[in-house]
């Protein structure tokens, strides 16, 4: 039985199987099945974590042009749009590019821990996914480094049972054009499906073109032994001018937001993944073996460092790995034992040149550049080996306990091809090996108060080793090789249930402490940053999700999060003491509300009005200036003519609100004036599309 792409038929069949009879659940739990926490189907009511599932039907109805448009539906999740499909995330963390999130495709990490990319979702074909699951907070024992803020698992669509094809064509403002094509067929012993995503936009700001070509090919095979074999090939090619996140001075932000100070910046990305998942179940056990290959390449001229450290660089890595998991169920106490190991070997390289830039007459816009000195050239191999064990048992019919532990052994083998450099702004550590070992315990409990109400509490310890860029791209720091891993302790309690009628709700409260948090200290004069270990940061909050019918054809969905993120202990030697301050770019309020109406005149279609709210946050580490926050309103509608043909449209930012997707403040110092800088968010934009299905 595959461990992803759960449909109602698959769920009902699984619940009737001998294996699932060992783990009975109430009728109210049938609709709440998750796969991410244990890498296979499990009742959400017996999962001691906040896991949110967005199914493929909702993705297809939303038609997201950016992953933010679908993930923002999850309470407490804010995906910040940079450019094209680029993004940063704020999930129980400030808006950050730091490596605190684990991105998966059918349970397989899309990137190696050593080569984290905060834009990882643009390497995955989200618009054609069968679903997305978000496990908030640190992951279970089945996940290691990266899984701190959240685990995001994108599920691919299985092969159909009968021949089918689907074509989706849409156009929109600012030269937006996209074609999504999907098709496949099945036979007695399996089936195949292919997906294709071709996207282009001119960008709504100057010099912000974006092109994407993505494809997914999946082959499902059902063997005579009862085992399944899933072969998945995914590939993406992305070419974009990255200035969507380029910030403007306040006057230009208010009066001419389409300006772009960094039209020379660009990003070229190639990503490919091949995995082969073998799964075999019996009445009491299951074995899963998933070997995989990955290739990642990126060439980048970053816009954010043009002012203080202009450069262009290439990073590349290949991965060879395997995920192995064995599960056994025992009669006493409905006990379940899961043991496994994750192995990942990722050799890679990094090459960086400084560049000489040319400014326009306005003194703000970079119009040209030329390659200068070679400043970094190194090979680095990341190897991670992590065995784990996870146990569940039910001392009573209502109580379910879980415990797990994971031991991660991580090694970087770093070869500096340019030699040691101990001075200046581009220092280079000598060739060396760096090792980390870490034990991560997890505890949890769920309790079923009734068929319509259950609760959970959990303690999860997690960690994050420094990425290769944090370790070996030293900059002006004295010692980056000596960076310590981030250590996290997370406590969480929650309730979820079904109220009168079909209303559902979930409330969770968490408190997360991070020690040795790796933070970017920004020089107040030059704006240059360097990675340092802070003493301690604290993250705590409450999240609420509610879905309720207001009338026969009207539904209200609400997601609300209130959080506070603070520097508990951070003293930058000889410079500043930020202890007690709130972290910058950390909104307290994240909210999303959607009103869905399905009038009879739309022939089964719907109209959706959406309100998204991002609260105020500090623009600097000293907590002297705030961004006030903003609200954005979106509208979607679709109209199916028949079972084969349908039309749809959406208007983003209906009120044409001027808002910032990111902002910062820098104080005046050494002759430089104070600067308020804002990255303007998308103006009002209309999209129209046509969808055709053949089956």
For residue 2, is it within any domain?
no
For residue 330, is it within any domain?
no
Residues 399-432 have pLDDT tens digits of 999 999 999 999 999 999 999 999 999 999 999 9
Contact 164, 695 (CB under 8 A): yes
For residue 327, is pLDDT > 80? yes
Q: What percent of the chain has pLDDT over 70?
A: 93
- pLDDT for 574: 65
614: pLDDT confidence band, cut at 50, 70 and 90? Answer: very high
For residue 684, is pLDDT > 90? yes
CA distance 468 to 475: 13
Give CA angle at 516 (515, 519), nearest 5°.
120
Number of domains into which the chain is organized = 1
For residue 19, is pLDDT > 60? no
For residue 562, is pLDDT > 90? yes
Q: Which of 24-33, 158-167, 435-444, 591-600 has the lowest mean pLDDT?
A: 24-33
CA distance 196 to 202: 20
- pLDDT for 529: 65
What mean pLDDT, rounded, does the chain reach? 91
- pLDDT for 31: 47
- pLDDT for 241: 87
- What average pLDDT does this structure show over 156-183? 97
- For the residues of 518-541, what is the DSSP string, one character each? EEEEEPTTT--EEEEE-SEEEEEE
Residue 158 sits in a domain whose CATH number is 2.40.170.20
Exposure string of 159-181, with b = 16+ CB inside 10 Å and e = fewer, is bbeeebebebebebbeebebebb
519: pLDDT confidence band, cut at 50, 70 and 90? Answer: confident
Q: Which of 3-17, 84-98, 521-535 has the lowest mean pLDDT?
A: 3-17
The pTM score is 0.93
For residue 270, is it within any domain?
yes
Residue 492, φ and ψ in degrees, nearest 5: -150, 145
- pLDDT for 11: 29
For residue 672, is pLDDT > 90? no
- What average pLDDT does this structure show over 507-524? 86
- pLDDT for 13: 30
Q: What percent of the chain has pLDDT over 90?
A: 82
- pLDDT for 1: 35
Q: Which of 126-135, 225-234, 242-251 has the lowest mean pLDDT?
A: 242-251
For residue 1, is it within any domain?
no
For residue 336, is it within any domain?
no
27: pLDDT confidence band, cut at 50, 70 and 90? Answer: very low
Distant-in-sequence, close-in-space partners of 630: CB < 8 Å, separation ≥ 6? 613, 614, 657, 659, 660, 681
Residues 81-122 have pLDDT tens digits of 888 888 999 999 999 888 899 999 999 999 999 898 889 999
- Structural domain including 311 reads 8-317+342-694
For residue 329, is it within any domain?
no
CA distance 39 to 153: 10
Give CA angle at 11 (498, 25), nearest 5°.
50
């Amino acid at each position: 039985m595959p461990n992803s792409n759960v449909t109602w038929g698959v769920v009902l069949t699984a619940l009737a199987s001998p294996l699932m009879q060992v783990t009975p659940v109430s009728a109210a739990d049938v609709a709440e099945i998750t796969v991410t926490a244990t890498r296979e189907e499990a009742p959400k009511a017996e999962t001691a974590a906040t896991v949110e599932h967005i199914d493929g039907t909702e993705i297809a109805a939303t038609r997201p042009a950016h992953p933010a448009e679908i993930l923002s539906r999850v309470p407490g999740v804010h995906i910040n749009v940079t450019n094209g499909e680029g993004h940063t995330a704020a999930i129980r963390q400030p808006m950050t590019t730091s490596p605190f999130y684990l991105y998966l495709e059918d349970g397989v990490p899309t990137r190696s821990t050593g080569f984290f990319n905060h834009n990882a979702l643009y390497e995955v074909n989200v618009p054609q996914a069968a679903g997305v699951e978000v496990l908030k907070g640190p992951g279970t024992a089945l996940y290691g480094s990266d899984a701190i803020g959240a685990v995001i698992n994108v599920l691919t669509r299985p092969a159909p049972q009968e021949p089918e094809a689907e074509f989706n064509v849409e156009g929109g403002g600012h030269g937006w054009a996209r074609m999504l094509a999907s098709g496949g067929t099945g036979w007695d012993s399996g089936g195949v499906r292919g997906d294709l995503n071709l996207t282009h936009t001119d960008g709504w700001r100057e010099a912000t073109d974006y092109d994407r070509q993505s494809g997914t090919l999946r082959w499902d095979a059902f063997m005579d032994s009862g085992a399944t074999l899933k072969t998945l090939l995914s590939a993406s090619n992305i070419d974009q001018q990255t200035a969507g996140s380029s910030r403007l001075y306040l006057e230009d932000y208010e009066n001419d937001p389409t300006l772009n100070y960094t039209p020379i910046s660009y990003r070229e990305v190639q990503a490919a993944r091949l995995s082969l998942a073998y799964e075999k179940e019996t009445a009491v056990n299951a074995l899963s073996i998933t070997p995989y290959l990955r290739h990642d390449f990126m060439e980048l001229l970053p816009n954010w460092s043009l002012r203080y450290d202009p450069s262009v660089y290439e990073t590349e890595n290949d991965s060879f790995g395997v995920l192995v998991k064995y599960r056994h169920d025992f009669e006493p106490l409905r006990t379940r034992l899961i043991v496994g190991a994750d192995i990942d070997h990722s050799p890679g390289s990094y090459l960086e040149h400084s560049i000489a830039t040319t400014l326009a007459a306005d003194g703000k816009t970079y119009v040209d550049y030329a390659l200068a000195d070679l400043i970094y050239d190194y090979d680095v191999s990341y190897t991670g080996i992590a065995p784990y064990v996870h146990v569940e048992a039910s001392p009573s019919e209502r109580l379910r306990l879980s415990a797990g532990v994971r031991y991660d052994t991580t090694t970087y083998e770093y070869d500096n091809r340019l030699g040691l450099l101990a001075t200046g702004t581009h220092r280079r550590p000598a060739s060396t090996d760096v090792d980390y070992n870490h034990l991560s315990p997890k505890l949890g409990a769920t309790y079923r108060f009734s068929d319509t109400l259950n609760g959970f509490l959990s303690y999860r310890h997690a960690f994050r080793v420094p990425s290769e860029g944090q370790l070996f791209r030293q900059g002006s720091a004295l010692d980056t090789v000596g960076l310590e891993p981030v250590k996290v302790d997370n406590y969480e309690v929650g309730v979820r249930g079904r109220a009168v009628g079909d209303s559902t709700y979930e409330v969770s409260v968490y408190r997360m402490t991070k020690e040795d948090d790796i933070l970017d200290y920004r020089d107040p004069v030059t704006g240059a940053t360097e990675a340092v270990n802070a003493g301690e940061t604290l993250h705590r909050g409450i999240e609420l999700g509610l879905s309720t019918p207001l009338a026969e054809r009207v539904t209200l969905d609400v997601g609300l999060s209130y959080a506070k993120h603070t520097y508990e202990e951070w003293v930058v030697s000889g410079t500043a003491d930020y202890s007690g301050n709130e972290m910058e770019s950390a909104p307290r309020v994240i909210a999303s509300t959607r009103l869905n109406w399905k009038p009879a005149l739309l022939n089964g279609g719907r109209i959706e009005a959406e309100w998204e709210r991002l609260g105020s946050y500090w623009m600097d580490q000293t907590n002297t200036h705030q961004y006030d926050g903003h609200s954005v309103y979106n509208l979607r509608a679709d109209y199916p003519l028949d079972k084969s043909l349908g039309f749809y449209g959406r208007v983003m930012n209906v009120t044409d609100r001027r808002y910032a997707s990111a902002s910062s403040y820098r104080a005046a110092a050494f002759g430089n004036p104070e600067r308020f800088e804002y990255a303007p968010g998308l103006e009002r934009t209309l999209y129209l599309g046509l969808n055709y299905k053949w089956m």
